[in-house]
Amino acid sequence: MSETDSNVGIEIEAGIATITVDRPKKLNALDNDTLEELGEAFQDAIFDDEVGVVILTGAGEKAFVAGADIEMLSRQGVLDGKQNSLLGQDLMDLIEDCPKPVIAAVNGFALGGGCELALACDFRYASENAVFGLPEVGLGILPGYGGTQRLPRLVGTGRAMEMILTGARIDAGEALRIGLVNRVLPLGELLPACRETAGAILSKGPLAVQMAKEAVRRGSLLSLKEGLALEADLFGLCSATEDMREGMKAFLEKRKPEFKGA
Ligand code: CAA
């Protein structure tokens, strides 16, 4: 694929990688090429030492991502249908497991696979025009990029069931009320707010941030006892870092810490 055909952009500035799904004519719908490009962009961000936080957004002012590409899905049979689901799930897992925090800047429609993409991020800020929904049952399918699993874990089974079984859309205000997003902002303030939060994260100890994310992510799959054991192990590991010494020394010396990620 030539660079001009690219459906995903990545810009890196001041420690923040902004990854943009850029297929505005199709409201940034995810075909398999776009999934692959997104995977590559996340791999780049994961292995780039300059990047501490990732912001994921959509191009234009109308859509974050309007879902998986329905034209592509309309051709699928049972076997490639399963593969399409697994391919999308792999990307969502990669985002969820990204050692660096990932903030979704939801700037419009986040439907089906677009809502699922936002759900794979660590937390979500939305513009006032954002619309969320899992409309798949209206297409004769179910959510296939993780929505049946991640939405109930985030907002509770009852609310998730209502959204999944009716396919109804909700606006940004309702998404805020049910805890699907953390903040709602005017469209022009969405990316600046995400960058401000990213900056706050970047000022902290990068290894501590990484381990805190891992504790929450891996812990959510474990029993409380196992999760607490994981937390204690990571806490112990943090204690071996120069960053911990620097963070505590700086506090005691009443100055700002200078973390090195070591
Ligand atoms: N796949 C493919 N193309 C899409 C698309 C999608 N998910 N969403 C929008 N588009 C295309 C439209 O077909 C249209 O293309 P053309 O100009 O070539 O006709 C273009 O984007 C603009 O869209 P609309 O004209 O429909 O714009 P609108 O403002 O009237 O409506 C919308 C906006 C409500 C988001 C509407 O486009 C829509 O309902 N889109 C589909 C949403 C959806 O059902 N998503 C779930 C997909 S299935 C899925 O995601 C499965 C999974 O879990 C893996």
Q: Is 119 exposed, middle or buried (0-12, 13-18, 19+ CB in 10 A)?
A: buried
Q: Hey, is 146 helix, strand or coil?
A: coil
Q: What is the spatial distance between Cα 31 and Cα 74, in angstroms, rounded to a whole number?
A: 12
Atom number of ligand 1 nearest to Cα 63: 35
Tell me phi and psi for residue 110, to 5 degrees: -130, 80
How distant, in Å, are the alpha carbons of 4, 12, 37, 184 from that of 25?
Answer: 15, 25, 17, 25
pTM, two decimal places: 0.97
Q: What is the spatial distance between Cα 252 and Cα 14, in angstroms, rounded to a whole number?
A: 28
How many other C-beta atoms are found inside a 10 Å radius of the C-beta of residue 63? 26
Atom number of ligand 1 nearest to Cα 111: 45
pLDDT in the model for residue 4: 54
Which residue lies with its CA nearest to atom 22 of ligand 1? 26
Tell me phi and psi for residue 21, to 5 degrees: -80, 120
Which residue lies with its CA nearest to atom 21 of ligand 1? 26
pLDDT in the model for residue 2: 42
Class of domain 206-252: mainly alpha
Which residues does a 6 A CB cutoff place in the pocket of ligand 1?
26-27, 29, 66-71, 88, 109, 111-113, 116, 135-136, 139, 141, 143-145, 147
Residues carrying an active site annotation:
116, 136
How distant, in Å, are the alpha carbons of 151, 159, 240, 252 from that of 245?
Answer: 39, 44, 9, 11
For residue 218, the CA-to-ligand 1 centroid distance in Å is: 34
For residue 47, the CA-to-ligand 1 centroid distance in Å is: 33
For residue 116, the CA-to-ligand 1 centroid distance in Å is: 15
As a whole number of angstroms, the longest Cα–Cα distance in the chain is 65
Which residue lies with its CA nearest to atom 54 of ligand 1? 144
CATH number of 8-202: 3.90.226.10
For residue 27, the CA-to-ligand 1 centroid distance in Å is: 6
How many other C-beta atoms are found inside a 10 Å radius of the C-beta of residue 239? 9
Domain ranges of the chain: 8-202, 206-252
Q: What is the spatial distance between Cα 20 and Cα 179, in angstroms, rounded to a whole number?
A: 24
Q: What is the spatial distance between Cα 118 and Cα 120, in angstroms, rounded to a whole number?
A: 5
**pLDDT by position in tens, the chain (length 262):** 444 579 999 999 999 999 999 999 999 999 999 999 999 999 999 999 999 999 999 999 999 999 999 999 999 998 899 999 999 999 999 999 999 999 999 999 999 999 999 999 999 999 999 999 999 999 999 999 999 999 999 999 999 999 999 999 999 999 999 999 999 999 999 999 999 999 999 999 999 999 999 999 999 999 999 999 999 999 999 999 999 999 999 999 999 999 999 9
Which residue lies with its CA nearest to atom 42 of ligand 1? 66
Q: What string of DSSP letters covers 42-104?
A: HHHHHH-TT--EEEEEESSSSEEE--B-HHHHTT--HHHHHHHHHHHHHHHHHHHH-SS-EEE
